[in-house]
Chains A and B, each alone.
Chain A
């Protein structure tokens, strides 16, 4: 295995190259663009045997990928922010047709106001669309989860959205172990087309209008595939660990048992949270971490089991949660419903590229421990890294 200096975008492109998709369609948008530039390069120089379609919009990119997948090859696309929002209608088509497409998202805040920078508002807006949604903590995970993602996708016949934080991962360079092609080929079997495909030898009509008699049942099948993902993902993630030394699971817990506080996170801030929690534990404070790798399907049971031994929970949401709680906190609270009374505190932070640094995470810990100590409950999420000196009216 070679350890290369790669940024998150490049790491994803390497994962794509190793996974051998045959068809790629994409449209440029910051901070996703370097992914597809690198994939286009691989195709141009013959390192990836695939066709690259530079479409006129993200909407058409995902559409073309759906068209390709329904003929029956492995496909890839990538986007970010407003590009994902433009795709929204087709996001449902891809999952509803049970097409194992892999789409990388370099998370970028949705407008408005405009931002080039990261938060999870783009992918959170798609969270109920029936895709598997994975969040990488670092550039190594970005690469690995492409390969794991394809195998999971093709096993349960569902598309995967692989999210990396814009800039903090997409443009951050780290050492990344790039697996050998032979090892990836041994792990990820050649693509097998689904029973739903377009082929004049077996004519069938796909995706047509459905009555109320069948819509519910078809959606229920879709739900069952997501349920199955909860079982399949850890098995495939463990198999990846056997082959490559880096196992993956739905969630990753550290020092959660008996913790006074567990930090629950998504994406690149998960590492920062671990760093903060380890430092606090070194000072004798019992703070654990729980990283959610698979946000969809939401690993309800794993989260319930992990948090059962904790005294309090602080969720860090890197999305707006406007009108309610942050998206992650909502689900964590729902997972804990009926469990022994564990207070869950929600912190909105790191929006529109604001650095979700160790200081912010420490502030979450301090606030949550203080509230837990005096039994205070939260009435909605706390915007922990708000600049107090700026007028808010």
Chain B
């Protein structure tokens, strides 16, 4: 089983780092994993597409993800730029969204059978400060999809960021994990 993940974010939100940490966490669980970034002209605030794969078998493809099973949306307002989080998703698809909105009223619910909602900005501010929401999004991803365990993620975070920074980010991921509201639709 290979899970294809598309991460939609903006420059400066730390999605590439998050995807690398996701790969590290999956590897530590004995899985195969891969992150492929899509770099353009580097600019804060510009849309950034990052792709990841987690699999029980070696990952052969080195390409972007076109038919994701999981979409991670760092910024719901990306749709204002014409970016459609539900584009080509493969059912049963999962969405992990950074939102302060109520899950029931979330606009993309039609295309996804599972939605994990997290107010990543608030969690990040509470636990770390005014920094990118990537650790919170990772916590939410773990909770919503179960692709990796929270403990593996936290270990990957601590390894990548030594000292208090790692601890704070690991805490952030943990709090986000707890607060993520997962909703499932049956149809």
Contact = CB atoms under 8 A, between A and B. Distances in A.
Direct A–B contact present (CB less than 8 angstroms): yes
Interface of A: 3-5, 7, 116, 137-138, 165, 167-169, 171-175, 268-269, 271-272, 274-275, 355-359
Interface stretch (B58-66, B78-86, B119-127): B58-66
30 contacts: A3-B27, A5-B20, A5-B27, A5-B33, A5-B156, A116-B39, A138-B62, A167-B36, A167-B37, A168-B62, A169-B62, A171-B39, A172-B36, A172-B37, A173-B20, A173-B34, A174-B23, A174-B59, A175-B32, A268-B62, A269-B62, A271-B60, A271-B61, A271-B62, A272-B61, A275-B61, A356-B63, A357-B61, A357-B64, A357-B66
Given A5-B20, A272-B63, A275-B61, A171 B37 contact: yes
Contacts of B59: 174, 271
B117 to A, nearest CB: 27
B7 interface: no
Contacts of B36: 167-168, 171-172
Contacts of A175: 23, 27, 32-33
Given A5-B20, A173-B23, A272-B61, A359 B66 contact: yes
A172 B19 CA distance: 10
Contacts of A4: 27
A358 B19 CA distance: 22
Q: How large is the interface on B (under 10, 10 to 19, 20 to 34, 35 or more residues)?
A: 20 to 34
Contacts of A173: 19-20, 23, 34-35
A209 B23 CA distance: 54
Interface string B1-37: 0000000000000000001100110010000111111
Contact of B63 (A7, A116, A358): A358
A355 B62 CA distance: 9
A272 B62 contact: yes
Contacts of B39: 116, 167, 171
Contacts of A7: 20, 35
Interface string B36-68: 111100000000000000000001111110100
A283 B16 CA distance: 36
Contacts of B61: 271-272, 275, 357-358
Contacts of B20: 5, 7, 173
Contacts of B62: 137-138, 165, 168-169, 172, 268-269, 271-272
Name, among A138, A168, A174, the residue most crowded by chain B CB atoms within 10 Å (CB to CB): A174
A318 to B, nearest CB: 12
Nearest to A3: B27
Given A173-B19, A173-B20, A175-B23, A168 B63 contact: yes
Contacts of A268: 62
B63 A355 contact: yes
A98 to B, nearest CB: 34
Given A168-B36, A269-B62, 9 more contacts: A167-B37, A168-B62, A169-B62, A171-B36, A172-B35, A172-B37, A275-B60, A355-B63, A355-B64
A268 B64 CA distance: 12
B33 A174 contact: yes
B63 A357 contact: yes
A175 B52 CA distance: 12
**8 A-B pairs with the lowest CB-CB distances in the bound complex, closest first:** A271-B60, A268-B62, A357-B63, A173-B35, A5-B24, A275-B60, A175-B27, A272-B61
A268 to B, nearest CB: 4
A4 B33 CA distance: 11
B79 to A, nearest CB: 23
Interface string B114-139: 00000000000000000000000000
